[in-house]
């Protein structure tokens, strides 16, 4: 096996990582760190790095796949704490492309959000089939408005004259026209937020 592809053990803080020299040699800092003259190898053959292992995990993933990290949750938004920790570690290891990507907040362009809003009177509104990228909110208020009253007292006709048939219209004519009365009506405002991730925006551009 080519020496550059042989597994290398990294002891980062309290965690052990396995990678290859080829992956680490992408960054000059690691290439120099692995040189014999640095004498960095531990008795068990591993290389020790005094760094936060949870953050280093993203450093290694970036080197392996050349993909920038996206720390985003649809409910809580971007995890700026993680980005702050990662940019500090990337700066220490002199990974300029990663530092620039985070400092310029290019990760924001990887998340595209659209918001639609509609308002419905009364207590009936469409039931949407939403996918995993969408979430909906409903806000309710009361509004005073004139509501159609069925002359025959049929509850399913209330509020919507189109539901009345010929007999109801005949009754309206007999009483001198359709009757409306003021009522407090429930108004529903529906907000649908859809989030799409542009993974192409997280790709390394050579």
pTM (2 d.p.): 0.67
Q: Is the pLDDT of residue 2 over 70?
A: no
* Angle, vertex CA 199, rays to CA 91 and CA 95, nearest 5: 15
Amino acid 189: pLDDT: 86
Highest mean pLDDT among 5-9, 86-90, 125-129: 86-90
Comparison of pLDDT for 147 and 167, the residue scoring more: 167
- When comparing pLDDT for 129 and 172, which is higher? 172
Residue 94 is classified by DSSP as T
Amino acid 184: pLDDT = 81
What would the two tokens of residue 163 be? 């539901």
Domain 3-104 has CATH 3.30.43.10: no
- Mean pLDDT across the stretch 172-189? 86
- Distance between CA 41 and CA 22 in Å, rounded? 17
Determine the Cα–Cα distance for residues 194 and 137; give it in Å rounded to an integer: 12
- At 81, the pLDDT band (50, 70, 90 cuts) reads very high
Q: Of 75 and 166, which is predicted with more confidence?
A: 166
pLDDT attached to residue 205: 67
Top-confidence residue, 149 or 58: 58
- 70's enclosing H/E stretch is none
**Average pLDDT of the chain?**
87
* 13 vs 137, residue with greater confidence: 13
**pLDDT of res. 20:** 94
In order of 36, 121, 141, 153, the CA distances from 183 in angstroms are 85, 12, 13, 16
pLDDT at residue 138 in the model: 82
User: Domain residues of the chain, as ranges?
Assistant: 3-104, 114-195
Residue range 101-145, pLDDT digits in tens? 999 999 999 999 888 888 887 655 566 666 667 778 888 888 888
């Amino acid at each position: 096996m080519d020496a550059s592809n042989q597994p290398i053990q990294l002891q980062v803080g309290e965690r052990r990582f396995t990678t290859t020299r080829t992956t680490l040699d992408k960054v000059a800092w690691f290439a120099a760190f692995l040189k014999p003259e640095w004498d960095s190898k531990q008795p068990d053959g591993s290389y020790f790095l005094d760094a936060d292992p949870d953050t280093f995990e993203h450093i290694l993933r970036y080197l392996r796949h050349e993909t920038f990290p996206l720390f985003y949750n649809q409910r809580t938004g971007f995890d700026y704490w993680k980005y702050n920790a990662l940019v500090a570690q990337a700066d220490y290891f002199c990974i300029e492309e990663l530092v620039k990507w985070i400092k310029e907040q290019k990760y924001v362009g990887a998340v595209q959000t659209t918001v639609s809003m509609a308002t419905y009177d009364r207590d009936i509104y469409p039931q949407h089939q939403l996918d995993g990228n969408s979430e909906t909110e409903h806000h309710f208020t009361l509004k005073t408005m004139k509501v159609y009253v069925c002359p025959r007292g049929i509850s399913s006709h209330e509020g919507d004259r189109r539901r009345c048939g010929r007999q109801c219209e005949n009754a309206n004519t007999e009483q001198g026209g359709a009757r409306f009365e003021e009522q407090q009506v429930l108004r529903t405002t529906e907000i649908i937020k859809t989030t799409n991730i542009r993974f192409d925006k997280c790709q390394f551009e050579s």
